[in-house]
Amino acid sequence: MVLMKSWRAEAFGKPRDVLRLREIELPQPPQKCVAVRVSAVGVGLPDLFMTQGIYPLVKAPPVSPGQEVVGEVVAAGAGAQFSVGDRVMGLTQYAQGWGGYSQYCLMADHRVCLAPACLSDEEAAGFCIPFRTAHAALVTRTALKPGETLLVLGAAGSSGSAAIQLGKSMGATVIAVASSTEKLEFCERIGAQHLINYKDKAGDFVEAVKRLTGGRGVDVIFDPVGGETCERAAHCLARYGRIGLVGFASGSWPRLDPLDMVLKNYSALGVFAGGLALAEEGQTFVDLCALAEQGKIKTPIARVFAFDEVLSALKLLETSPPPGKMIIKVKG
């Protein structure tokens, strides 16, 4: 029997009201799953949403946040492809109550890979979900091509920053849209060629995009923001353009005009990396790890928190997240 400390919520609500550090028992991993001693865990908006009760994959408490981790395999279920002692990274069984805001977690084989030596624990902990999401959006769904122009909304966030790097590695021209000079400077450091502050009072960001593209517009929009921002961004699309609908950080999904879509021949495509076939998911990890080893993509770390600072990390995520990926260091 392994007892561990784990941040859990027995009811939905604001993290500060419901999330508590508890001592619970770690079960033996089921078939084709592994138990992992968590070294570090990434912090993401879904962790906040599932605690609040608005994340569709977590339908009832108890809530165990922490979708992506890096750590060491300590036990393997029957048929598991990983062995005790392996350093792995990937997605936790958070929807079943075994998330990564814990000293140990459970992970299904098909959502785990060996962590490349080129990534530190902090980098590996925040790698899989942002880059897996960007890959699903840009490679699988919108089929971004070399020479095309990519507009990244929420570009300083974890998935946005992944889309900038992956889009550039695919040969696209990347335009980053963010809300401050600090965030845009960050976007430029990680590879964005053009920068637009959507809060700039000097003009609308749609007009800025049209100026940058000579009036043509962009081929692909990566949208983790949703709401009015995406609705406005749709006016930036070139004919036959594609919008990858990734998330709703604004609090709502966009309402796009079907007539506008018809007249301009553009598409809106839903992006859910968790909906890929197992073979696709495995190949995605292989491709992304290869890019990491080539130095083409890397997790940009915003801030690292201690294990007892989980509530502080989620509060910052909710109020004014810094550019890049926030990480919680669990071990050591």
Instruction: Read off the pLDDT band of 332 (50, 70, 90).
Output: low
State the Cα–Cα distance between residues 257 and 261, nearest whole angstrom. Answer: 6
Count of beta carbons in the 10 Å neighbourhood of residue 184: 21
Distance CA 96, CA 94 (A): 5
Q: What is the rounded average pLDDT of the residues 184-211? A: 87
Which residue has better confidence, 248 or 297?
A: 297
Say what the pTM is: 0.89
Query: Phi, psi at residue 153, to the nearest 5°?
Result: -85, 155
pLDDT band at residue 191 using 50, 70 and 90 as cut-offs: very high
pLDDT tens by residue, 158-178: 999 999 999 999 999 999 999
What is the pLDDT, as a whole number, of residue 310? Answer: 97
Q: Is a pLDDT exceeding 90 seen at residue 17?
A: yes
Question: Is residue 255 predicted with pLDDT exceeding 70?
Answer: yes
Average pLDDT, the chain: 93
Sign of the CA dihedral with 183 first, then 186, 190, and 192 last: positive
